[in-house]
Structure 1
Amino acid sequence: MTSSQKPKQLIALVLVMLTAFSIHAQTLIKGVVKDAKSGQVMPFVSVGIKGTTSGTTTDVNGYYEVGTSENVTKIEYSFLGYITVTKSFTVGQTQTINVTMEEDAHTLDEVVVKPKKEKYRNKNNPAVELIRQVIDHKEQNRMKHYDYTHYLEYDKMQMALNNTPQGFKNSKLLKKYQFVLDNVDTTRFEGKALLPIYIEENISQKYFKRSPEKHKTIVTANKHVTFDERYINNESISTYMKNLYQNVDLYENNIYVVTNSFLSPIADMSPSFYKFYITDTVMNQGVKLVELSFYPRNKSDLLFQGKMYVTLDGHYGVQKAVMTVNKDINLNWVTDLHLTLDFERSADETFHLSKTDLLVNFGVFQGKKGLFGERTVTIKNFDMTTPIADSVFDGPSTVTLADASSHSDSYWMENRPDSLSTTEANTYKNMDSLNNMKSFKRLMWFTTTFLAGYNVNGPVEFGPLSTFYSFNPVEGFRLRFGGRTTPELSKRVFGEAYGAYGFKDKRWKYYVGGTYSLNNKSIYAYPLNYIRASVQEETSIPGQSLQFVQEDNFLLSFKRGVNDKYMYNKIYSLDWVAEFGDHMGVKATFKNWKQEAAGGLNFIHADGTNDTIPTIHTSEVGLEWRWAPHEQFFQRKLYRTPIPNVYPIMTLGVKWGIPDFLGGDYKYKTFYGSVYKRFYLSQLGLADVVVNAGYIFGSVPYPLLNIAQANQTYAYQLQAYSMMNFLEFVSDKYVSLNVDYHMYGFIFNKVPLFKKLKLREVATFKLLYGGLRDENRPDKNPDQLKFPTDQFGNVSTYSLEKQPYMEVSVGVENIFNLIRVDFVKRLSYLEYQNVPKYGVRARINFDF
């Protein structure tokens, strides 16, 4: 199984803060609200416990659930156009109270059109006609309508534990942390007791130019809770939260929230997926507004429900929107989601976005307890009339000023549009005190070591733990021990080494590497700029990239079929890596590589003599260029995981084999390139598409050709061929296509059982096509090496001239919210011996 794609630092933080979580007995009231006359359920009814701040609204099914620990006995139900209902309840019990509400004749004239009781239709529906006007006027109401805009933006993100139980607070074991546990806000959000664990604030100047379109962000001030960098990557926490709580533009067709694409209620095709009702008219800022309620046609789809207020001044702009999601939505871990958008009137009478408030409660455990997150973005000093000099847009699109994190408390008090609550303000000093406590550091050490696999131990870390024990047919039982230095030892010089021993082949393997940082930063953090030299002696499966970390992970030891063709490799390498601009990077390499056949593999001449050669020796230089516009990633201990966005990731590279230099025997040139792109298909899901191509000039033996990346493990690997055997296909020219399509329940949401289980559909298609020139074919060129054979002497390595290699898979993901299972079918080259025709593969995939 592959590891999760989410940052382990944040998981470590959550595990530390959630060492215990239980439900404290309180009064809990639930039920359904219906119309007394029609018997139909009533959504969006306000439900509040009198004498407290606890309250909620009914969902689209008229259902509500609200709780309190206060000693009160009355609950109130109110809705525009209906008589308010008050009921009594018993303190300290869980009880069901169903309510019917009657229309109030004195207020009915305020309502223009109420939701119709007959079957819903778009035709002759005034609400749909209104939303079509909003859609037709989208462009003139967007910020991008203006030639120039600039404004000040205040961005506040926070994370908190929600509804911490009283028993947790009174625990003697946690007495020393009482100052943190007492910092609870019970007044800000109804029904929530929030214990903040993280807060971040940013003040930025934002600039936009329409033609040509350019954006610029200058971060002038930044403040956030800081954790010990040995255990938590603070930058990754910020990146992760911004990825969950992305900037919201209601006028875009799709709104990205918690890594998912929601169709906007004013998207071009929204009438096909939403039901719309006119429910009220009001006056605000001197403008007549229509209250427009909307609901998803299918409750499980990635759609919103709520209300928006539309102007009737000819602009048909949105003045306010309040949105949530249906409880039946196919969304993992999220128990509550609320999005509020406020718009202010501009000088030209249109409305521009002035404030966004996004609240998400993540149900780490059952119920609505768990992790609560909020992002509030406030826009001030909006100017769409003053031209912006072109020089403002020079350089990177986002710039953080050098003194952004050094502002005083008085600066923040003067420049925040909204003041912090006492609880929020205390979070900074409380978490700082917590980080300095020895007991908390020990807990962080244990959790980080367990999750990251490295023993966090000051200037030197030992690990990774997952590679301590593994096995394979050549080495048998294998033990490995290694470690690396940290910035505590030096911010410029980093070292890494490991040693491993195979008890079957009785040979030592090792890696020793040293890296010098040219920008005095960690060699794992953006932007990279370092020189690395290393020597490695290790086993590998032909065609697999040698990654000196975790290539011998214990879980990857289990493989299907015959897996006996290995190589011993001795590699001397020198690399220079640098990143610049908008996530553009270059990599220059030198590699002196000696390959020795192992296991069932032999290097045999094709001239009929059956002579063997002991090693294949090459000296190679390479240059690679990579561009990933607007890239973000989760930073981990040894590597970083890119966060997909709408922009492609492109790579181009070339390698030269240099004969007669440090033992090199071969002359060749290899050109290669790849493009990755994620396509968001709105309600139809998304597709990840990867195209690769390459060409090798020169006459080389098969270990130096392109060896197709096969997968003989039982874990589903996205970029490998699951039904292909190791070393099955080689080529000197190739092109490949890989499509991984996720439908996110578009079909399953319409099947009751699948809908209840929140299962999702997934499908893939993989194609590889290539060929070999005569100079690289052992049957045409006797100077080459014979292709490998199986244990019976049959050739087991082939070229791809006949047709493309193809495989497809269909699968189900989101099993138990974590597991993906694919049924994979091989479509071509089925006549070859010992090849699988189909199989089942599984993968762990954490997603929302």
Structure 2
Amino acid sequence: MSVRRYLFPILLLFACQVLWSQTKAGGLVVDASGDPVAFANILFAGSSEGTITNDDGRFYLESEAVWDTLVVSYIGYATRRIVLEQRVNTGLRIEMEESGEELDEVVVYMGRQPKKDNPAIDILRKIWEKKRRNGVKLFDQYAYDTYEKIEFDLNTIDSSLMESRVFRGLEFIFEDLDTSRITGKTYLPIFLNEKFSRVYGDNRIGEERTDVLGNKNSGFSNNQAIIAFVQDLYSEYDIYDNYLKFFDKSFTSPLSTTGVDTYNYVLADSAFLGDKWCYNIIYYPRRKNELTFKGDFWVNDTTYAVARINLAVTRSANINWVKEIYIEQEFDVLSDSVFLLKRDYMLSDFALNKKEESRGVYGKRTTVYDNYVFNRPRGRAFYKGESDPFDPRVFNRDDAFWSANRLEALNKDERGIYTLLDTLRTVPKFNTYYNLVSILGSGYVEIDKWNLDLGNIYSVFGYNDAEGVRLRGGARTYFGQNDPWRLEGYMAYGFLDKKVKYGISGKWLLDRKTRLILSGGNRRDIEQLGLSLTATNDVLGRSVASSAVFTVGNNNRLTNINLSTLAVDIEPLENFRIRFGGSLRTLRSALPDVFSLDYLDPEAPGGVASEVRQFDLTTTLIYTPGKETIGYGVERRDVNDTYSTLLLHYTQGLQGFLESDFDYRKVQFSYSQPWQVGGMGRLLSTVEVGKTFGEVPLVMLNVVPGNQTLFSIYNTFPNLDFYEFVTDTYASLHLEHNFNGRLFSRIPLLRDWNLREIVGLRGVWGQLSEANQLLNSPANIPLQAPDDSIYWEYSVGVGNIFKIFRIDFNFRGNYLDNPDARAFSVTGAFGFHF
């Protein structure tokens, strides 16, 4: 994931609730020695409204009803009844006294619970049996309305923050503050996004359709980067699934069939919820540092459908930049037996660290479900047709629309966000903050009066053996997020070769419905080729290896490239793209004295040529099932990264056309797939195969991608030099698994560091025909293919070092007799990951 996705919560810090509650209580539970009591049970006396203390013994509880007594219980301690003298009771310090008396059956039993003869686990097994026969799954067809409200708040507001220089001149934003019902902290709402949709589904044919009918947000309606960030942040989930995915991490659900190995369960109570008798089960993790929750749920005694549940991520969970995650779901009863989701609430507390006093940003999502309709068949064609979620009318609904379709009214703080953001956008200081973080996130400096962006700032400086120090500057047109066309270009200068390089490209969206796009461009530059087996013709792209300041070995196999392209893209079906294109390339060595690209050519002087001129026609099919995007302009943003990619690429070289040198054919296929392996982390896999028919020079063969940089680059071989293996027929496999700290969490000395273990395995087999070896015989590098046996490497790595660094130790499995073979290497990477 890129850095910009995690800069936007910081943006919200500078960019500049809940319904009135009758009783609030919060504080700390300790024992006689002053040590915090984790997982103690907190209840309003006479109610089923309660919570559990966190790992640090802290709690916060809130109710819309009036309560005058708080009950605190924990195994081995006398139950305390605390009189609440006010409606707001924060800062409580409750000391528990040891007791030898046996607690009654409604007290929460803590510590490791037995798996055998545990009534809570017996109930859990009944939930597993019936979980696929609950809710909308009971009906042939269904339809319902959803109203989603996503809010960001600046939290932990105190006098030092309000008086800081950062907010000088912006003091008016602190006039309206409120307190979170979950954490008890003061917060300031600064961003709100509302969306109203109608959902249709058919369980018989396995189809579902969502029509977005309205979308509105405060101050950032044209900033799709923020909208995409928000969408990915709050992906959909089902509590009955074994694993719940949040922030690219898979948390074990308390209702999971693997839950008995992950959680302790206690049958705490039974009572009527409405007119339905339900059991109350409390759960908490068996071990620290795993991706787990703590909380409780109520389940019906006959249908074994969950009626109410809350989930709070444990403070020790191995996740960065998120201090708290809290989830509540409520269900309605239909026809005495069917429980339908009514309300889903999720709060995330983003902060630089997990200390209690650390400031950050709340992210809150509330989704309300209503107006269920069942068993109204619609044809399969209905589900294939899709509304346009980016229809401008969706973003311009009037107040009457929102008054009629908000399934939950805005409170005064939420209503005030729209006014606050409108005011802030007129304050120069706020715009300065906004622009600064926008630059860091996108890499571009916006020049509004010219409708131009300058950048990318992250590619200004580079270095390689051919150019020496290299400076690059670029720009792109930018009228808005959904521009139907875009021009982009750059110029660069190398201080060693004293030459100017450039690239320019353009894209035009001809038809929005089918995503018909015409694109073209030209680039003259120096590039490190052979970093990818699957061919690309990206006019403006530049690899890390082409400009890496620090490298290993002789990094001098660079190529001068003059590339012109013209292509047409179309997306006849969702996530299925077809591209037809043509390219004209002129290729020669950038350092001919040390890296020869010579090949036999009877028509060249001396029978040897050192430059290739080639015209190709290409057809590319790309299928990305599950991919989500946002926007409708010529360039869209990806929302998620959990989708697979299947690519089929065909190239036809045309000899003689535009003085093209070679006639050949090339077929290539690749398949990349991320896999969520339950609680064991995430596996990324890539398979690539390809074959070239005909004789072609070295620069047109398939080079096994080596990596002589110090960076960990997926889909390359870090112990191979550039051009060490060259093929015209190949098959490769890359596997990289991140355990997300699952193993380290079981090692006492390591578990508190929240490190993450990463393992990799990669291999490639290939051949190089005798005809291609003879054609390229003048080249001054050995031409070898891994045909005797599969070349393979493996690596072990440690991630999340200081939350941002990763280091990999890479080992070469064979071909150790190759000249200058590197048996071992160390590479690294840095980035912001949850």
TM-score scaled to structure 1, two decimals?
0.86
Equivalent in the alignment of 1:384: 374
Q: Distance in 2 between matches of 1:61 and 1:258?
A: 21
Aligned-pair CA distance for 1:785: 4.2
Choose the corresponding residue for 2:519, options 532, 536, 559.
Answer: 532
Q: Distance in 1 between matches of 2:274 and 2:27?
A: 38
Aligned length: 799
Equivalent in the alignment of 1:523: none
Q: 1:44 to 1:236 in 2, by over 3 A?
A: farther
Q: 1:353 to 1:451 in 2, by over 3 A?
A: closer
Amino acid at match of 1:470: G
Is residue 283 of structure 2 the alignment partner of residue 294 of structure 1? Answer: yes
Choose the corresponding residue for 1:786, options 751, 767, 778.
Answer: 778
Q: 1:359 to 1:749 in 2, by over 3 A?
A: same
Is residue 203 of structure 2 the alignment partner of residue 210 of structure 1? Answer: yes
Equivalent in the alignment of 1:151: 144
Choose the corresponding residue for 1:140, options 120, 127, 133.
Answer: 133
Retained in 2: the 8 A contact 1:396–1:581?
A: no
Is residue 617 of structure 2 the alignment partner of residue 630 of structure 1? Answer: no
Q: Distance in 1 between matches of 2:800 and 2:634?
A: 27
Aligned-pair CA distance for 1:40: 12
Aligned-pair CA distance for 1:347: 2.0
Q: Distance in 2 between matches of 1:489 and 1:265?
A: 41
Equivalent in the alignment of 2:640: 643
Amino acid at match of 1:84: R
Q: 1:443 to 1:284 in 2, by over 3 A?
A: closer
Equivalent in the alignment of 2:20: none
Aligned-pair CA distance for 1:102: 6.1
Q: Distance in 1 between matches of 2:323 and 2:715?
A: 33
Amino acid at match of 1:4: S
Equivalent in the alignment of 2:682: 686
Amino acid at match of 2:703: I
Amino acid at match of 1:334: V
Amino acid at match of 2:344: T
Comparing 337-346 and 384-393, the one that deviates more: 384-393
Equivalent runs, 1:102-141 vs 2, <5 Å: 111=105, 115=109, 120-141=113-134
Equivalent in the alignment of 2:338: 350
Equivalent runs, 1:385-784 vs 2, <5 Å: 385-396=375-386, 399=389, 403-458=393-448, 459-487=451-479, 491-519=483-511, 529-544=516-531, 548-551=540-543, 556-599=548-591, 600-605=594-599, 612-632=608-628, 640=637, 643-645=640-642, 647-778=643-774, 783-784=775-776
Equivalent in the alignment of 1:78: 72
Amino acid at match of 1:139: R
Q: What SS class does the counterpart of residue 556 from structure 1 fall into? A: coil
Percentage of identical aligned residues = 23
Q: Distance in 2 between matches of 1:493 and 1:411?
A: 32
Runs of 5+ unmatched residues, structure 1: 19-26, 49-54, 69-73, 521-525, 790-794
Aligned-pair CA distance for 1:763: 0.6
Q: Distance in 2 between matches of 1:94 and 1:186?
A: 13
Retained in 1: the 8 A contact 2:8–2:441?
A: no
Q: Give the alignment's Cα RMSD to 1 decimal.
A: 3.6
Retained in 2: the 8 A contact 1:82–1:103?
A: no
Equivalent in the alignment of 2:175: 182
Per-residue CA deviation, residues 690-739 of structure 1 (Å, 9 max, x unaligned), is: 11111111111121111122211101011211111011111111111111
Q: Distance in 2 between matches of 1:75 and 1:756?
A: 37
Amino acid at match of 1:422: K
Aligned-pair CA distance for 1:225: 1.8
Q: 1:8 to 1:317 in 2, by over 3 A?
A: closer
Equivalent in the alignment of 1:99: 96
Q: What SS class does the counterpart of residue 660 from structure 2 fall into? A: coil
Q: Distance in 2 between matches of 1:488 and 1:241?
A: 19
Aligned-pair CA distance for 1:784: 3.7
Per-residue CA deviation, residues 365-414 of structure 1 (Å, 9 max, x unaligned), is: 54342010111111101223333343431224875665322222232122
Is residue 799 of structure 2 the alignment partner of residue 813 of structure 1? Answer: yes
Amino acid at match of 1:534: G
Amino acid at match of 2:641: P
Amino acid at match of 1:115: Y
Q: 1:519 to 1:163 in 2, by over 3 A?
A: farther
Q: What SS class does the counterpart of residue 752 from structure 1 fall into? A: coil
Q: Distance in 1 between matches of 2:550 and 2:361?
A: 36
Q: Distance in 2 between matches of 1:286 and 1:687?
A: 46
Per-residue CA deviation, residues 68-109 of structure 1 (Å, 9 max, x unaligned), is: 9xxxxx996534993404699xxxx9997632376999xx76
Equivalent in the alignment of 2:65: none
Q: 1:563 to 1:187 in 2, by over 3 A?
A: closer
Q: 1:448 to 1:399 in 2, by over 3 A?
A: closer
Retained in 2: the 8 A contact 1:218–1:401?
A: no
Q: 1:369 to 1:8 in 2, by over 3 A?
A: closer
Comparing 823-832 and 444-453, the one that deviates more: 444-453
Equivalent in the alignment of 1:52: none
Q: Distance in 2 between matches of 1:727 and 1:557?
A: 20
Retained in 1: the 8 A contact 2:452–2:479?
A: no
Equivalent in the alignment of 2:192: 199
Equivalent in the alignment of 2:364: 374
Retained in 2: the 8 A contact 1:648–1:677?
A: yes
Q: 1:104 to 1:430 in 2, by over 3 A?
A: farther
Retained in 2: the 8 A contact 1:466–1:553?
A: no
Q: 1:447 to 1:292 in 2, by over 3 A?
A: closer
Q: Distance in 1 between matches of 2:10 and 2:33?
A: 48
Retained in 1: the 8 A contact 2:26–2:58?
A: no
Equivalent in the alignment of 2:251: 262
Q: Distance in 2 between matches of 1:294 and 1:450?
A: 42
Comparing 436-445 and 483-492, the one that deviates more: 483-492
Per-residue CA deviation, residues 526-546 of structure 1 (Å, 9 max, x unaligned), is: 985432222211111231466
Retained in 1: the 8 A contact 2:463–2:547?
A: no
Aligned-pair CA distance for 1:558: 1.8
Equivalent in the alignment of 1:51: none
Equivalent in the alignment of 1:23: none
Aligned-pair CA distance for 1:444: 2.6
Retained in 2: the 8 A contact 1:467–1:554?
A: no
Aligned-pair CA distance for 1:262: 1.3
